[in-house]
Amino acid sequence: MEMLVNKNMVWNLMVYFCLVITTADVIAVSGSSSQQQSSKEADPNANSINQFNHELSMPKFAEPIPNVTVSVGRDALLACVVDNLRGFKVAWVRVDTQTILSIHHNVISQNPRLTLSYNDHRSWYLHIRDVHEQDRGWYMCQVNTDPMRSRQGYLQVVVPPSIIDKETSTDMVVREANNATLICKAAGYPEPYVMWRREDGDDINYNGDSVNFIDGEVLHILRVSRLHMGAYLCIASNGVPPSISKRVTLKVQFPPMLTISNQLVGGYIGQDIKLECHTEAFPTSINFWTTEKGDMIVSGEKYEAISTDSGYNKYMSLKIRKLSPQDFGSYKCVAKNSLGETDGFIKLDQIAVPSRPADDIIDEPDDDVKDYNVKSEMGDKIDKSFETMATNNNSSLSSLAARSPHGNYSDWLVLAVCYWVIVSVAAVLFDGNS
Ligand SMILES: *[C@@H]1O[C@H](CO)[C@@H](O)[C@H](O)[C@H]1NC(C)=O
Ligand SMILES: *[C@@H]1O[C@H](CO)[C@@H](O)[C@H](O)[C@H]1NC(C)=O
Ligand SMILES: *[C@@H]1O[C@H](CO)[C@@H](O)[C@H](O)[C@H]1NC(C)=O
Ligand SMILES: *[C@@H]1O[C@H](CO)[C@@H](O)[C@H](O)[C@H]1NC(C)=O
C-alpha cells in the first residue's frame, strides 16, 4: 500500500513539475511581451490598465462545474468549459486523493474507465465509464495559470437498495404466545429506508396497536398470536429505483381448537342430516369423526365426511344418509396435530316425522264440515253433524266445534237440535202419560 502511495506521490510531483515548466513558459512569453509594452509606455496608470487588460485576456471558467448524480454502473460525464484558454492547459484532478487524472489531451490516470474528450480548445470532458462507489467525490478542473485557477464539481454515485440476505431473517416458525423477531438489513446509497408490512396488506396487531406497516429493520412481536401468521415483506427504498423487498413467512404453531355451533341436532327416521365442526390448528391437524363408541367413521354409502381448509381453519362436516333408529346418539369430531388433540360431541336426537305443511294441518280435521258447507242445505248439515259425532267416538262437541272454523254456528245448531229432540221426546212422554 505504502509503495503505491509513494509511487502516486512521485508521479504527481512529476506531473506538477511538468505543469510548472509549461506554465513558466507561458508566463515567460506573455511576461516578455508585456515588459516590452510597459517599456514603450511611461504612463503611470499603464500598470493598472495593463493588469485589467491582462485579466481580460486570462482564461475564465464559462460556467460552474455542474454536480453530477449517477447510479452505480452507469457512465458519468464531467464538463469544464474555459474561455480564453490560449496556450494554458486544463487538467482534471481528483480532489480527495490529490490525483491528477488528465492534463491537456492526455489521460494520466491508470484507471481504464477514464477517458477524455474536448471541443474547440474550450470544453473539456472527463468520462467515467461504469461508475464505482469509490468514484464518488469532488473533481477539480484546473488551469495552469499562476496562480492556478480551478473549479470543482461533485460526482454523486447512488446505489439502489439491496437486501443483505445473510443478516435478514428467513422463514420462521414460532409457538403461539412466544416472541418473534424479524430482522431486515439493507444496503444502498443513500442509506435505505426499511419497513415491514404484511404481504396481504392487512393490518398487524403490533404490541397493542393495529398498524399497517412498521418502520425500521426490526419487527419485534411480543406474544405472537395465530393472527400474526402470514407472509411479511421487508421493503427497502432510498429514492434510487428500483425499490426492493424480501418475503419472510411467519408460522405460528398452536394445538388444535374446536368449536361446534350446534351441539344438539334433531333428525327423523329416513332423513339425511349434516353435523358440523370447526377447528383451528397449526401445523394442520388430522381431523376425523367417530361414533359414540369411538369407532372412526369412514365415508361410504351411509356417511360422507368432508373437511375443507382455509389457512389454519378447518371446517368438517359429516353427512348421515337415511337416518335409522340406531343412528341416533352421540358423534365425536376429533382434531389432532403434533402439539395436541381435542374433540367435541354432537348429539343427534330423534324427532317426530314432521307433518305436511301448515295449511293442511289446519284444514284437515274439518274436511267433513267443509263438505257439508258446500251442500249448504240446512237439513243435511244437521244430519251430517250427528254422523260426525257418531263416527268420531273420541271427539266431544267442543273439540269438534274448536276444530271447525264455523264452530259457533255448529254449536248453536247442535244445541238447537238437542233442544228440539228433548222437547219432542218430552212432548211424546207427556202425551203418553196423560
Ligand atoms: C454541488 O453539491 C454540493 C454539495 O454536495 C453543493 O455544496 C454545491 O453547491 C453543488 N453545486 C452545484 C453547482 O449544484
Ligand atoms: C418476550 O419479550 C418480553 C419483553 O422483551 C419479555 O419480557 C418476555 O419474557 C419475552 N417472552 C418470551 C416467551 O421470551
Ligand atoms: C273409537 O275409535 C277408535 C279409532 O279411532 C276405534 O279403534 C274404537 O273401536 C272406537 N270405539 C268405539 C266405541 O267405537
Ligand atoms: C281421542 O282423544 C285423545 C285425547 O282426548 C287424543 O289424544 C286422540 O288422538 C283422539 N283420537 C282420535 C281418533 O281423535
**Residue 271 is part of a domain; what is its CATH number?**
2.60.40.10
Question: How many angstroms separate the alpha carbon of residue 52 from the centre of ligand 1?
Answer: 31
Ligand 1 atom closest to residue 67's alpha carbon, by position in its atom list: 1
Residue the block writes with cell 420462521: 172
Confirm or reject: Cβ of 222 under 6 Å from ligand 2: yes
- What is the domain count for the chain? 4
Instruction: Decide: helix, strand or coil at residue 235.
Output: strand
In angstroms, the CA 234 to CA 194 distance is: 7
Model-wide pTM > 0.85? no
Of 316, 350, 384, the residue at which a domain comes to its end is 350
Q: Is the pLDDT of residue 165 over 50?
A: yes
Confirm or reject: Cβ of 61 under 6 Å from ligand 1: no
Residue type present at position 19: L
Of 288, 317, 350, the residue at which a domain comes to its end is 350
Question: How many angstroms separate the alpha carbon of residue 231 from the centre of ligand 2?
Answer: 23
Of 117, 138, 158, the residue at which a domain comes to its end is 158
In a shared domain, residues 226 and 334: no
In angstroms, the CA 167 to CA 182 distance is: 10
| Alpha-carbon distances of 366 from 22, 402, 403, 406, rounded to whole Å | 133, 10, 6, 10
Residue the block writes with cell 460556467: 63
Mutate to test the pocket of ligand 3, among 393, 395, 396, 399 (most ligand atoms within 8 A of CB): 393
Please measure the distance between the N-terminal and C-terminal CA atoms of the chain and give it in whole angstroms. Answer: 159
pLDDT band at 312 (very low <50, low <70, confident <90, very high): very high
pLDDT band at 417 (very low <50, low <70, confident <90, very high): confident
In a shared domain, residues 251 and 391: no
C-alpha atoms less than 13 angstroms from C-alpha of 387 in its C-beta half-sphere: 10
Mutate to test the pocket of ligand 4, among 361, 392, 394, 397 (most ligand atoms within 8 A of CB): 394
Q: Is the pLDDT of residue 158 over 80?
A: yes
Tell me how many helices (H) and strands (E) the chain has.
7, 27
Rounded to an integer, the average pLDDT of 281-288 is 94
Confirm or reject: Cβ of 179 under 6 Å from ligand 2: yes
| Mean pLDDT across the chain | 81
Buried-state track 241-255, b at ≥16 Cβ within 10 A, e below 16: eebbbbebebbbbbb
Confirm or reject: Cβ of 66 under 6 Å from ligand 1: yes
In a shared domain, residues 198 and 114: no
pLDDT band at 119 (very low <50, low <70, confident <90, very high): confident
Reported as a single tens digit per residue, the pLDDT across 343-373 is: 999 999 999 988 865 554 444 444 444 444 4
Instruction: Decide: helix, strand or coil at residue 173.
Output: strand
Closest C-alpha to ligand 3, atom 2 = 393
Task: Tell how strand 172-175 and strand 244-259 pair up.
Answer: parallel
Distance of alpha carbon 220 from its chain centroid, rounded?
18
User: Which range marks the domain in which residue 300 is found?
Assistant: 260-350
How deeply is 91 buried, as exposed, middle or buried, from its count of CB atoms within 10 A (0-12, 13-18, 19+)? buried
In angstroms, the CA 358 to CA 361 distance is: 5
Closest C-alpha to ligand 3, atom 14 = 393
In a shared domain, residues 131 and 206: no
In a shared domain, residues 335 and 250: no
In a shared domain, residues 151 and 45: yes
pLDDT for res 354:
82
Confirm or reject: Cβ of 391 under 6 Å from ligand 3: no
Residue type present at position 8: N
Cell of 195: 419497513
Give domain status of residue 290, yes or no.
yes
pLDDT for res 28:
39
